[in-house]
Amino acid sequence: MPVKAVLHTGLIQPWAEILGDIPWPLLPVGNRHFLEYWFEVCIDLGIKDVRIILGEGAEFIEGYAGDGEQWGLSITYSFLKEEQDPDSFLMRNPEQWVDGLLYLRNPVFLHRLAATGAAASFSGGVFLDRSVDGSVNCLLSDSPDFLRAHIASPRAELKGRSFNELNLKPALILSIRDYYALNMSIVGEEAPRYVRAGYSLIDDVSIGYNVVIPPSVSVTPPVAIGNNSRIGVMASVGPLAVIGNHVIIDRQSDLSRCVILDGTYVGRGLEIRGKIVAGGRLIDPDSGTIAEINDPWLVAAVRPMVRWGDALRAVFGWLCAMVLVLLQAGPFIVLYPLINLLRKGRFRKASFHLTGARVGPLSEFVPIPESGSGISTLFQALNLDLFPRLCRVVMGQLWLCGVRPMASPEETSLKFQLKEYFPAVLVYETDSQDYAEPGGHLAHALYYARFRSFFGDVKMILSLLLNRPLRFLSTRTDNRG
């Protein structure tokens, strides 16, 4: 039976959270992602079946690794919840792993001790590396007895040989300093041991695809530059610089002994030495000091392009809201004072996150009694309960179609998990009920952010104009019945 690999990628690493939104397995190490080095170990050991255990950043990891064809691997995926013990995954179906297993549990980098990579012959052996807390960093064995014993009791003091015998030296990354040192080591003396197809490190320089480097730029090896990056005139890069993908370095800047993560802009005439730059964040790896800068004159996150679809949705939504406000203004001015006078309903205010970074009160209509009365039902059937929120759309504080606004401060932590947030007046009614739980609310907001479309918004508006009035009127009829 072939040996299989189980790679844990979802465990949250506090040191990596400081570096921004990039999941730690996709952080750059030299001229590639961390995860690719793990794949390389699998290839060297002749392992083709790879199971990636997903957690935080699952979408990005699967998006990067895919089915593994690029590396000649067959990659499948499983999930593990944050609160579950990582070792419990192997216990779910132990027998599928006992014929042979490479188990990478913690963020451990397996340094090659020779350019030829790992020795493929490990038959009958048990190779084990543990961290100080007793958990396994990495394990390789094809001994069924050992694997059964280990899976049943992962913390048991089972002995194994050192990975050094396979020409691999495990190094656990526990801090920013470890991560920085790893990069400096890889881009410096170790780079030639990890040369990949299409690259030659004869000059100690690795440059990705679609990189713009004017002739006046000074590149001092060793240097690794990712894909789709741009370096301004008269800039100086290196020695010992790791530059990720989609990085822009403006003119006359000077970078050495540094790691610039994906999607970072480095401003004009800056000198960066011995630092990690992650978007608008400057990190000193030795002291762990973080400076939040995010200034387009200094360092900042590269801003994504404006999506034309969103511009269209915004204009269309605003026009529709404007028309609705103009149509509703008259009936609202007549009916609402009447409802107030008869005490048949009122607007309740609560604080919500609006568009941008705004937080403000939004009105919600509450009929009295809750089952509704004739006049309050008519008020809702005419969508007049939405009038104050439609005014907010006209003022640019809400979208017309999107997701239920998140309450402040109750759902503030959820809001900050969203890169794109579309608080709106109109949401799918059934969805908003099903997604009432906080985790569900986040799921809905993420779903809408990914799959939003102009057509979907039109459907929501039609639902507002046709279904909502009918629903209120039918509810009223049912109550009477």
Partner 1 sequence: MKIKFEERGTIGVVTPMEALTAESVDSFREQFIDWFAGLSGVKNVVISLESVDFMDSSGLGTLIAMLKRVSERGGDLKIACLSKKVRMVFEITRAYKVFEIVDTVDEAVRACQ
Q: What is the Cα–Cα distance from 34 to 52, expressed in whole angstroms? A: 14
Q: What is the Cα–Cα distance from 167 to 319, expressed in whole angstroms? A: 66
Which has the closest alpha carbon to 220: 238, 232, 202, 207? 238
Piece of 22-30, 57-65, 144-152, 159-167 that binds partner 1 (CB under 8 A): 57-65
Tell me if 444 contacts partner 1 by CB under 8 A.
yes
- 216: which residues sit within 8 A by CB, 6+ positions away? 233, 234
Tell me if 58 contacts partner 1 by CB under 8 A.
yes
How many residues touch partner 1 under the rule CB under 8 A: the total is: 30
Residue 303 exposed, middle or buried by CB count within 10 Å (0-12, 13-18, 19+): exposed
Tell me if 430 contacts partner 1 by CB under 8 A.
yes
Q: What is the Cα–Cα distance from 206 to 288, expressed in whole angstroms? A: 28
Tell me if 401 contacts partner 1 by CB under 8 A.
no
Tell me if 11 contacts partner 1 by CB under 8 A.
no
- Interface residue with partner 1, options 52, 428, 468, 472 (CB under 8 A): 428
- Interface residue with partner 1, options 446, 464, 472, 476 (CB under 8 A): 446
- Interface residue with partner 1, options 365, 422, 435, 472 (CB under 8 A): 435
With respect to partner 1, which residue has the nearer C-beta, 344 or 444? 444
The token pair that represents 292 in the structure block: 């939040």
Task: Tell how strand 281-283 and strand 276-278 pair up.
Answer: antiparallel
Q: What is the Cα–Cα distance from 50 to 259, expressed in whole angstroms? A: 29
Tell me if 469 contacts partner 1 by CB under 8 A.
no
Tell me if 65 contacts partner 1 by CB under 8 A.
no
The token pair that represents 426 in the structure block: 């109109």
- Interface residue with partner 1, options 1, 2, 17, 59 (CB under 8 A): 59
Piece of 173-181, 312-320, 393-401, 426-434 that binds partner 1 (CB under 8 A): 426-434
The token pair that represents 73 in the structure block: 């691997």
With respect to partner 1, which residue has the nearer C-beta, 188 or 440? 440
With respect to partner 1, which residue has the nearer C-beta, 58 or 325? 58
Instruction: Work out how close the CB of 342 gets to partner 1 at its nearest, in angstroms, rounded to a whole number.
Output: 36
- Interface residue with partner 1, options 145, 189, 295, 434 (CB under 8 A): 434
Tell me if 24 contacts partner 1 by CB under 8 A.
no
Tell me if 54 contacts partner 1 by CB under 8 A.
yes
Tell me if 307 contacts partner 1 by CB under 8 A.
no
Instruction: Work out how close the CB of 21 gets to partner 1 at its nearest, in angstroms, rounded to a whole number.
Output: 13
Q: What is the Cα–Cα distance from 302 to 237, expressed in whole angstroms? A: 19
Within positions 90 to 119, which residues make up the interface with partner 1, using CB under 8 A?
A: 92-93
Piece of 18-26, 56-64, 200-208, 247-255 that binds partner 1 (CB under 8 A): 56-64
Instruction: Work out how close the CB of 97 gets to partner 1 at its nearest, in angstroms, rounded to a whole number.
Output: 13
Instruction: Work out how close the CB of 438 gets to partner 1 at its nearest, in angstroms, rounded to a whole number.
Output: 10
Contacting positions for partner 1 (CB under 8 A)? 54-55, 58-59, 62, 77-79, 81-82, 84, 92-93, 428, 430-431, 433-435, 437, 439-440, 442-444, 446-448, 450-451
